[in-house]
Amino acid sequence: MLKEPLPQQYELEMVTMEQLVPKHHLVRKIDQVIDFEFIRDEVAHLYCQDNGRPPVDPVRLFKIILLGYIFGIKSERQLVKEIEVNVAYRWFLRMSLTEKVIHASTLSQNRIRRFNGTDIFERIFTNIVLQAMDKGLVAGNELFTDSTHLKANANKKKFTNEQQAVRTSAYLEMLNEDVAKEREAEGKKPLAERKSEPKLKNTKVSTTDSESGFMTRDNKPQGFFYLDHRTVDGMHGIIVDTYATAGNVNDSQPYIKRLDPEVVVKPPSTLGSRQ
């Protein structure tokens, strides 16, 4: 016999956030291996210590940005709406079910004004990679690199032709540096530099965005672009490095030097214990 369903929206239930998040949800896996508390110390110098209103927790700010990237949410407004209704996201951000989510403008203004022009994103990225290495998620035996072209906001018909020096291979530069160090260690004089005129190449330079590069590749669109170079560890497919260049830079140019980036970070052994 059919019965009329009882309204359940206002029933009281005793539950915990822990019960509502599936055991194998991706945010749980991330939370188990990555400690984000180091972020607070990394960004402390960007906040006033004795004046102003209490800020939004910077750890939560960066975790919100991370959620947007991992789950492909490209709009900050949409990201805030997703957090409002997604229990797993709230659990990951250490928010209660009734806690109000920050406004999208707060997220964007912090990202654009407070953190823009700093190396904080790279420092956080590198620290997380080191933690992944410490937990055995990165082997370093097989690394794969590739680049994705990003269209610059520049008209491909508006440019000037300039003569620019052709860059030597980053690998050759590394070999020369190694030879110089060995000779110095043995007390030998450095090899005399060969004086020769640098090779010049006719290069299109955008009059709108001079930092972009004119890209011409087979089966690729032609115009002014940037390149997002990414290196991935073959063990679990974890991105271990990302680096942006002009669109006319060959993938091999930044790759060699990016294998050992000169970024000062705290080693995993000195990170604070989990709370």
C-alpha torsion angle, residues 211, 144, 180, 261 (rounded to 10): 60
Asked whether residue 146 carries a pLDDT value surpassing 80, the answer given is yes
Q: What is the rounded average pLDDT for all residues in the chain?
A: 84
Please report where in the chains the tokens 């654009």 appear, as a residue.
112
Asked whether residue 2 carries a pLDDT value surpassing 60, the answer given is yes
Overall average pLDDT of the 5-24 stretch: 84
Residue 56, pLDDT score: 86
d(CA 207, CA 264): 36
d(CA 182, CA 241): 29
Overall average pLDDT of the 64-88 stretch: 94
Residue 175, pLDDT score: 64
**How many residues are listed for the chain in this entry?**
275
Q: Which of 169, 178, 142, 181 is nearest to 250 (CA)?
A: 169
The residue extents of the domains of the chain are 17-118, 143-184+198-270
For 222-273, the pLDDT digits (tens) are 999 999 999 999 988 889 888 899 998 887 778 777 776 543 334 444 343 3
Of all helices (H) and strands (E), which one includes residue 42?
A: helix 38-42
The residues, any chain, with a CB within 8 Å of residue 215's CB and separated by 6 or more, are 149, 221, 222, 223, 224, 225, 227, 247, 248
Burial 8-34 (b: 16+ CB within 10 A, else e): eeeeeeeeeeeeebeeeeebeebbeeb
pTM of this structure? 0.72
Asked whether residue 42 carries a pLDDT value surpassing 50, the answer given is yes
More confident residue, 12 or 93: 93
Query: 174 in helix, strand or coil?
Result: helix
For 158-199, the pLDDT digits (tens) are 999 887 766 655 555 656 677 777 878 888 877 776 655 566
Secondary structure E strands in 152-234: 159-165, 200-206, 213-215, 223-233
Local confidence band at 139 (pLDDT 50, 70, 90 cut-offs): confident
- If 0-12 CB within 10 Å is exposed, 13-18 middle and 19+ buried, where does residue 156 land? middle
